[in-house]
Structure 1
Amino acid sequence: MLVFRIAHKKYAKNLSVSGLSGRWNSNGKLVLYTSESVSLAFLENMIYRVGTGFNDDYKLMIIEIPEQNIEGIEIKKLSKNWRKIEHYDELQKMGDSWYDQQKRLVLRAPSSVIPEDYNLIINTTHIDFKKVKLIDILDYEPDERLEKLLKKYQ
Structure 2
Amino acid sequence: MNQAATGKKDELDRALDDSFPASDPPAATSGTTATPTQPHTAAVHRPETGLVHVYRVVAPPDADAPFGRQPTYSAGRWTSAGTPALYVSGSAAGAILEHLAHAPHEQELLLASATLPDDCVVVQAALPSTWSDFPHHPQAQCIGDQWVEAGASLALKLPSALAPDSFNYLINPGHVDKVLMQSIQVRPLRIDPRLTQRTEAS
Q: TM-score range by the shorter chain?
A: 0.7 to 0.9
1:100 corresponds in structure 2 to: 149
Q: Does 1:4 align with 2:58?
A: no
Bigger mean CA deviation after superposition, 130-139 or 29-38: 130-139
The aligned counterpart of 2:6 is: none
Residue-by-residue CA offset, 1:10-61 (whole Å, 9 max, x unaligned): 1232023232221111222211111000011001000123xx4462x21000
Q: Secondary structure at the match of 1:79?
A: coil
Give the drift of 1:7: 1.2
- The normalised TM-score by structure 2 is 0.67
TM-score, normalization: structure 1? 0.85
Q: Which runs of 5+ in 1 are unaligned?
A: none
Matched, 1:39 2:93: yes
How many residues are paired up? 148
Q: How far apart are the structure 2 equivalents of 1:124 and 1:20?
A: 14
Kindly report which structure 2 residues correspond to 1:46-61, keeping only aligned pairs within 5 A, or say none. 46-49=100-103, 52-53=104-105, 55=107, 57-61=108-112
1:65 paired to 2:116: yes
1:16 is aligned with what amino acid? R
CA contact (8 A) 1:54 1:144 kept: no
Contact kept, 8 Å, 1:105 with 1:126, in 2: the verdict is yes
- Tell me the distance in 1 between the aligned counterparts of 2:97 and 2:138: 23
Structure 2 CA distance for partners of 1:151 and 1:26, relative to 1, 3 Å: closer
From 119, 125, 137, the counterpart of 2:168: 119
The CA RMSD measured in Å over matched residues stands at 1.8
What is the rounded CA distance, in whole Å, between the counterparts of 1:134 and 1:11 in structure 2? 17
